Structures are given as C-alpha cells and as structure tokens.
Amino acid sequence: MTLKEMIFTSESVTPGHPDKLCDQISDAAVDAFLQQDEDARIIVECAIATGVLFLAARFAAQANVDMPTLARGVIADVGYTGESFDARSCSILTSFTPLDGSARPDARRDGSEPAQEQANAFGFACRETAAFMPMPIWLAHKLARELEAARGRGLDWLGPDGKTQVAVHYRDGKPVGINSLTITAATADRPLRKSMVEEAMRELVIKRAFRDEALRPDASCTVHVNPGGPYLVGGPAKHSGLTGRKNGIDTYGEYARQSGAALSGKDPSRIDRIGAYAARHAAKNIVAAGLAERCEVHLSYAIGSAHPISVAVDTFDTGRIPDDDIADRVLQAADFRPAAIEARFGLRRRAAAAGERGFFKPLAVYGQVGRVDLDVPWEAVDLAADLAR
C-alpha cells in the first residue's frame, strides 16, 4: 500500500441485530410519546439478552404509553416469535422515572431554549455516491437491505439477525474497486450446506444490491459468507444488544467523525441527536452547492448556551473558497440553536403526524443520515443555492 491507496471497510446490520432491535424499540417509544403529546420530552434506553429485555425511560409528557406492549410489538415485527427468542414470552424489566425540570414550549418557540447537554455534533458529505455518502457505508446498507428482503423471497431458513461488510479500494482519494464483501447471516437451527447458503447470498443478495451501482464486485473481489462457520439462531439468544452501540452504522460507517452519544431513544430537544442532523444538512448542502468535493461540519455546544459556541468547516483541501468563508455562509443560511433546528426541520410536528410507522423508528436501521428513501429534512439540499452565491 502506498499513501495514495487504501482499503476502507464499513458494516451494516439487519433489523434483527440485537443492537438495532434496541434502537428500534427506543425510537418507537419516542414516536409513541410524541404522537400523544407533541411537547413530550423522553429518553429511552434498552438492553436485551437471552430471554430478557430491560427498558429504562425518563420522560415528562401528557401521555400514556404501554412500553412493554410496544416493545413486544417491535420484537414480533422483526421476526422473533420462535423458541430461541419470543416476543410473547420474553421477560421485560422496566425502570420509569420523571425527567428532571419542566418543558418550556415558550422557549422552544422563541428559540431561547439552551442546550441541555454538552455536545460535539459532526456532519459529513462527499461526492462518492448520489446520496452524498461515503461509498463503503452506502454499499453495506444496500447489502443489509437485500439480506433482510431475501427472507421474503423464499429463504425461510434465514433468521432476522444479519451483518454485512464492504471493503472499498481507494486510489488518490476515490473509490476504484471493491476488495471484499462479507455477509454473516443467521440461519435456522439446523445444518445447511455451505454451498447452498453461499449461492443464495450471491444470487439473491449481492447481485440485487449491486445491480444499479457503477462500482461492482469483479473477479478480484473476495466474498465471505458466514466466515466464522455456521451461524445458527442469532439474535438476542446469541449476543446481547444495547441502544446506541452502532453509531458508525447510524452515521458514516466510521469514514468520518461521529459523536459518541447515541442518536436513538431521544426526543428532538436533545442536541446530541438533532445536532447531528443539522450538521449533516449543512455539510450536504455545502457539497451540493459545489463549494467542496467533501466536507465535515462540526457544531460544538455547551450546557446553558443556545447558540453553538463553535461552527467549523473542513473541506479537506477540496474547497472552492476558504473553509472559514464557507462557515460564515453556513451561519448566515441556518440557525443552529436547538429550538431553531427543531422548528426548521419540523421534527415534533412530523413525529406527531407520522402514524403507525413512526418518524424516528425507521431511522433506527440502515442509517440516520443518507436516507434518501425517507422524507427527512436534513437530506434536503434547500440551502445549496444560497450557499453558492
């Protein structure tokens, strides 16, 4: 390897992965509270292991949400209704407490509500894909989607738990090939021929994932299917899960910086969640405006301050104008106060009106950014024209 070449690997997982199962339960609870009380404040964390689920929630809301029943519904929808882990019979332990302090809708409306926690929020965008996302995580998500979809295409021996990994070969900072693909797929609790599993993954997962991609696996690409041997059962019976443990999957596949804070399980008052959305929105619009080929936006917040104490832009020497000038344009185009982000994106209104599917729950799998399949406001390029002037 020379400095001009590297291989970068990102991973994604299916909805049945225990960590993502916890994220979905946490975000389903946020949706449920906001649908009953648009001003609700709620923080939900979830942990899961063999036969047991633990839910911890702090909230201040005029709402009545049966969270154990909600959790069982999410677990069943994902596909865990069998002997190894059953939504109907798993034990659910809860810890529910009031959230300290009182909600201030007036401060939220006038934008004066300060950040309630210290946070560094990062947003990233590049031109590697049409979604302005890094190639490795984009392809890993596509593989994970097809792996989940294969369960409905006759592969009844596939379990809900799966993981995908894509290693992309870069030359001079640009993706030029795919070094390897890895799929770990839970199968039914019975021996299956390795050749049968591999053929199914190639035909029903890999080929479908890459059919619309310009960059595809070639003869030099190594494909690994369950490289650790048969992966029987999977899910909480195999390994534990926890809300917020897959931040790389939620964001940029570790290709760019990310906060250590969980995104799921938090209402829109939490700047460590919505700040990541606002930073992504800014970075994507900078690249869409033609100001840079790749860009990171960093927002720094201090407890008690409404405005971020720092807004920094790094274009990695690809900027058309100086980075400080781009940062000035961003500050003129967007208000990064927590309440202003909420209002600009209409997060509470969107969550309250989202219906049974929910607004935040779909974000809990396949990434919280780069979601061009969902109508999320931080993926819009509505600031690009103003930034380009």
* pLDDT tens, position by position, 189-219: 667 888 999 999 999 999 999 999 999 999 9
Q: Is the pLDDT at 1 greater than 50, yes or no?
A: no
Q: How far apart are CA 116 and CA 267, in angstroms?
A: 12
pLDDT value at position 3?
Answer: 55
Distance of CA 129 to the CA centre of its chain: 17
- 298/258 Cα distance (integer angstroms): 10
Q: Could you say which architecture CATH assigns to the domain 119-128+263-388? A: 2-Layer Sandwich (3.30)
368 touches 251 (CB < 8 A): yes
Would you put residue 324 in left (φ > 0), alpha (ψ -120 to 50) or beta? Answer: alpha
Mean pLDDT of 231-259: 94
Between CA 43 and CA 299 the distance in angstroms is 22
* pLDDT, tens digit, 9 for 90 and up, residues 329-384: 999 999 999 999 999 999 999 999 999 999 999 999 999 999 999 999 999 999 99
Listed in sequence order, the DSSP H helices in the chain are: 18-36, 67-78, 105-110, 135-150, 194-201, 207-210, 247-250, 271-288, 323-333, 338-345, 347-352, 384-388
Neighbours of 163 (CB within 10 A): 21
367 alpha carbon, distance to own chain's centre? 3
pLDDT at 158: 93
CATH 3.30.300.10 spans which residues of the chain?
5-12+134-235, 119-128+263-388
Is the pLDDT confidence value at 243 over 60? yes
CA dist., res. 244 & res. 261, Å (int): 7
Burial 13-24 (b: 16+ CB within 10 A, else e): bbbbbbbbbbbb
Q: CATH for 5-12+134-235?
A: 3.30.300.10
Residue with tokens 């870069």: 170
Q: What is the pLDDT of residue 318?
A: 97
